[in-house]
Amino acid sequence: MTASRAPLTRDSLRVKIVVQKVRLAGTEYRVIQPARPLKNGALYKRGVHYEMYVDRTDGRRMGALWLLAARSPRSLVYLPTRTAPAAPGVTGEGEQPLDLVLAPRTLQLRPSRWKRIREHLHAGKAIRELRTAGVPQRDVPDLEADRIIPDNPKEANRFLLRKDIHAETLLLTGGSAAFREGAKEILAVTKDGPPHAATGMHIPGACNYHVCRVIYDWDFDPTNLSDWEQLHVEFCPQWAR
């Protein structure tokens, strides 16, 4: 698996994107999405948890887009993961495929508007501007660093992601710090996952036999795990070409 040893470089954080503008109810929305479909990046709702699966290549694309969301306070970042091929060995009945939207808090997006925005994006005459976006390597957080949420409530609020489900989409609203933290966990999985999978000890979806990170926890109470909702990302070797 030669590709698994490739380091994370500036070129790893370059991604081809499509930029579109949608005007709705007097407001213009700028939407960024990957130019090519995600084949090995999927998101599912499983009970009260959210499970994301990535391989190295599409995982890095997704991590770069999370970092781009951190640098784009006037843009929505749309990851159409709902139509990606199902990740083998880890998906089952009762799981709901979802798209993912990263919405800057400054836009004050109403979740109920997302379905209409998406319809405009997919309209036949919609203008699509193709670009190559690059993220400076200095934007990449330390992949080995533990998550430390400040004790000060105002500082801690920077890491808060508001979660909404609408039109088969998980909408995450937050600021730059929260999106960078999410990118860190995804990129760490793409770094640690391939070498682990190459050992033969890798079993997708099996506790202690796969590489994963938790991108975000909501309402974690260690005395009541039934209230624990998490966005969890797991490495899966490439499953679609």
Dump pLDDT digits (tens) for 156-184. Answer: 777 888 999 999 999 999 999 999 999 99
For 144-157, letters b (16+ CB in 10 Å) and e give: eeeeeeeeeeeeee
Phi, psi of 157 (to 5 degrees): -60, -25
Confidence of residue 222 (pLDDT cuts 50, 70, 90): very low
- Residues 50-69: what's their mean pLDDT? 96
- Residues 44-65: what's their mean pLDDT? 93
pTM value surpassing 0.85 = yes
DSSP string, 111-134: GGGHHHHHHHHTSTT---EEEEEE
Smallest Cα–Cα separation from 180: which of 163, 156, 159?
159
Across the chain, which distance is largest between two alpha carbons, in Å?
55
Tokens of 199: 């050992």
- Residues 193-210: what's their mean pLDDT? 85
One-letter amino acid for residue 160 of the chain: L
